[in-house]
Amino acid sequence: MHPDNHLRLHRLRSTELQEQAQEFGLVPAPSRTGLRTRLGWALVDLGLRVLPSHPVGTSAAAGPA
């Protein structure tokens, strides 16, 4: 495939994905915060999604005696 064709297809698909993300509210509103701040909060959000919803007891983490 010619590089120009590949780039054109990439741009079309990128536009489609951005429109879909806006429809579902996945694109945050533009703000004046810096990239590091937005990235930091995105990592906090990801971490909260990954953590279990209930705390793990210390006795279970210690293992068998």
Q: Give tens-digit pLDDT for 3-17.
A: 888 999 999 988 888
- Does pTM surpass 0.75? no
Q: At 29, list the tokens.
A: 């509103």
Ranges of residues in the chain whose predicted pLDDT is under 70:
1, 26-33, 53-65
* CA–CA gap between residue 12 and residue 20 (Å, rounded): 13
Return the residue matching tokens 């879909």.
20
Please tell me the distance from the alpha carbon of residue 60 to that of residue 1, in angstroms, as a whole number: 56
